[in-house]
Structure 1
């Protein structure tokens, strides 16, 4: 399966989602490849940290850029069971190219009006990509949401998604938890942290099940 974690807005936790899903998929016994298309290389650095700490199972990672991305992804899909693409937070050649070959795209946004405005362009990009990739499904993940139960920004953001024809709302909200930052620093998935943060682990397991189901 080819999965894209991408969007036009930076700072929404794309790399956090991509690296956690990659590690959890590897822990499930799958041969997974993480493709980092962001010049900042955050996913690649995460893998390097994981390798330096000799954490198993190992997660393979490559950096790929440019218009040739679709052909390269298709070739790599013959060698790996799953590919997870981490696309940077902007309208890039890599983001547009990845939408043409991915099966499922997940677009994390923070629950703010600034992030919601970027969804107009993403809705158009997904519609254009469906001309080449009609099976593409795109879902929005509300990410880095407040852990304060009295803050209802996530609910309000979710209601606004009804205005977009090509975007659905994922069934999980990812909260802004320290556990995600701790895990990233050591090249871990949040489910690998000891002691475990049960709430963060539950969020990521819900996302994992939505993305991969019983596969």
Structure 2
């Protein structure tokens, strides 16, 4: 059983898209998954609600208060194979609760200076959390550029205390198209983006194996 938290104090880095694809992707592998939306915007809740009765069913809950999130996730641990939490966009109680609950923290970031700097904020929060428990944290480069040196430069700037995820997620329209319907890129019809699907398969293997 794993609790995976997808977190960043900066918005617009693809947190919800990554959380959605991890939750649905894991469910497609046959696991009983709970997705927890800790963001006031409720984007993950909306996306998974859009799935309606589509199989596989992914249970979703919305807790923006840190205490409620912590209590409800702790109660749900015995009921699910995996729990994926989406929280952040700012430093708040839900993000801090998720940090302490998670077996593994995934921090999506873009190959841009402002996004790299935000990793330092997350690293500071991780340091506080690690005074209470050990937290495994991985920086995931998202919306990676197809060419140029920005990807490598951003990856090299990941601070000590955060490991670099061995896979990246490119800037691909397929992720946005799928997310709008509450789908993972693995569920898109036959003309799906094969590269996006391969990236998600690699990410699932890196996160859960």
State the TM-score, normalizing by the size of structure 2. Answer: 0.95
Q: Distance in 2 between matches of 1:10 and 1:95?
A: 13
Runs of 5+ consecutive residues of structure 2 not aligned to the other structure: none
Contact 1:101 1:133 (C-alpha < 8 Å) held by counterparts: no
Q: Cα RMSD (Å) of the superposition? A: 1.1
Q: Distance in 2 between matches of 1:182 and 1:117?
A: 29
The Cα of 1:196 is off from its aligned counterpart by 2.0
Report the 3-state secondary structure (helix = DSSP H, G, I; strand = E; otherwise coil) of the residue aligned with 1:128: helix
State the match for 2:152 in structure 1: 155
State the TM-score, normalizing by the size of structure 1. Answer: 0.92
Report matched runs for 1:1-215 at 5 Å. Answer: 1-51=2-52, 54-68=53-67, 69-134=69-134, 136-147=135-146, 149=147, 151-161=148-158, 164-194=159-189, 195-213=191-209
For 1:26-71, what per-residue CA distance to the aligned partner results, in whole angstroms no more than 9, with x for missing partners?
Answer: 11111100000011111011111101xx320111100012231222
Q: Distance in 2 between matches of 1:24 and 1:204?
A: 8
Question: Which stretch of structure 1 is more off in the superposition, 55-64 or 67-76?
Answer: 67-76
Runs of 5+ consecutive residues of structure 1 not aligned to the other structure: none
For 1:157-176, what per-residue CA distance to the aligned partner results, in whole angstroms no more than 9, with x for missing partners?
Answer: 11112xx2311110111111
Q: Distance in 2 between matches of 1:43 and 1:167?
A: 25
